[in-house]
Amino acid sequence: MKLKEEKELQAISQDYEKALHSFHKKSYHKAGEAFQRIIDTYKDSEFYSVLEIQTRAKVYRSIAEAQSHPLKVKLEGAQDHVWEGTYQLNAGNINQALEHFTQAEKANCRDAYLYYLMAAAYLRKEDTANSLRYIDKCLKKDGGYKVVIYNEPDFESLQQNPDFLKLLE
């Protein structure tokens, strides 16, 4: 390795390490700026080893930029609210999930799956009455959910509830 290449490789490596340090600390704005400086400073390098690190800096800059400016999704239809509600339910944000499910229901979504999700969400809130109400709505829309609901671990706490068992007859 030539001396010039070695010096340039050492310099970019140090800059890259500092930028990565900011990135791992989740200082995405600072990291993005550091990666951009690397990209600008070494864009005309004649050495493959330096250009390889500069290319990696481009990838990290893109990730840092995406983290600094997260994309906001506009929920337009009932199905969008069902999907977002499902995401929130899986993330453990039960109240937010129920808000989205309610929005979907208000938008005339009368799907058995929506009622199934609402029943699960209400049960997680320990609201058995509403959970049973939505199980009933679900089963009236699609009786095939009886098997799913009976075998779903989320509804295990209702296995001894006579109202639950009556719905599944």
pLDDT, tens only, 43-82: 898 888 888 999 999 999 999 988 888 777 788 899 999 9
What is the per-residue pLDDT for 166? 93
What is the per-residue pLDDT for 67? 86
Local confidence band at 157 (pLDDT 50, 70, 90 cut-offs): very high
CATH class of the domain comprising 78-167: mainly alpha
Say whether pLDDT at 102 is over 90: yes
What is the per-residue pLDDT for 75? 85
What is the per-residue pLDDT for 72? 76
Angle between helices 3-24 and 48-68 (to 10 degrees): 20
Query: How far is residue 38's CA from residue 56's CA, in Å, rounded to a whole number?
Result: 10
DSSP state of 121: H
Local confidence band at 98 (pLDDT 50, 70, 90 cut-offs): very high
What is the per-residue pLDDT for 1? 62
Q: Which token pair is 12?
A: 């970019």
Residue matched to tokens 């250009």: 51
Say whether pLDDT at 115 is over 70: yes
Closest of 63, 129, 62, 125 to residue 88, by C-alpha:
125
pLDDT, tens only, 124-146: 999 999 999 999 999 999 999 99
For the chain, the domains span 3-68, 78-167
What is the per-residue pLDDT for 38? 93
What is the arithmetic mean of pLDDT over 81-88? 93
Its pTM surpasses 0.85: no
CA gyration radius, the chain: 27
Contacts 24+ apart (CB under 8 A), 110-114: 110/141, 111/82, 111/141, 112/138, 112/139, 112/141, 112/142, 112/145, 113/82, 113/138, 114/82
Q: Across the chain, what does the average pLDDT equal? A: 91
